[in-house]
Amino acid sequence: MSRPRIPARRAPRGLSLVVVLQLLLAVSILGLASAELALMGERGARSTRDMQLALQAAEAGLADAIRDVDGPADAVARAGAFDDPRGDAFVEGCGTGPRNRGLCRQKRIGKPVWQEIDFTDSSRTAGFGEFTGRTFASGAGMARGLRPVLAPRYIVEAVDDRELLSDLSLPSLPVYRITAMGFGPRRDIQVVLQTLYRRRRT
């Protein structure tokens, strides 16, 4: 007597296609995640580079402002402006004239001037080299390499010396709070630096 034949089991069709599609999906997700990480790293590096450019510009602006306060021999426009910090050169809201542009009287109440002023306002802030004769390469575009979109700008406030940097063994000299803003390759990338400075004794 013959046994009935049992049909052989067939492997499910299409299973290998499903497995391959799942592997392809996993590899695609990993590839997209790697690309996103690479883009984030590139954006972070660009942001750091732009902030460093603005920081260097602000440092240059601070150095130029100190030179302005010390009164270089070739800058006659400011002659006498820093001799008397209580004089008419330092005004509330910062000076706008050719002799006192960017020279501000210290506010006694409320926010200090440097927190309220718009550093892109060229009528109330002094520009790099305006009173020192120095030059600063700036301007938009990549024709000559990456550089700040604007030259640094600064203000100088005459500060009361009763508590700051006082040295009773020396005659009192004016103390100035210098605030400089540097710009990156775009106007919205800004760095502000500030220092208290006493003029050099001559």
Q: Which residues pair with 190 in a beta bridge?
A: 183
- pTM of this prediction? 0.74
Q: Does pLDDT of 62 surpass 90?
A: yes
Q: For the chain, report the end-to-end CA distance as a whole number of angstroms.
A: 128
pLDDT band at 58 (very low <50, low <70, confident <90, very high): very high
The whole-number average pLDDT for the span 72-83 is 66
CA 202 – CA 198 distance, rounded (Å)? 12
pLDDT band at 21 (very low <50, low <70, confident <90, very high): confident
Q: Does pLDDT of 95 surpass 90?
A: no
- Cβ partners under 8 Å of residue 156, min gap 6: 65, 68, 69, 102, 103, 104, 126, 176, 177, 178
What is the structure's pLDDT at 3? 63
Domain boundaries, the chain: 32-198
What is the average pLDDT score of the chain?
81
What is the structure's pLDDT at 41? 81
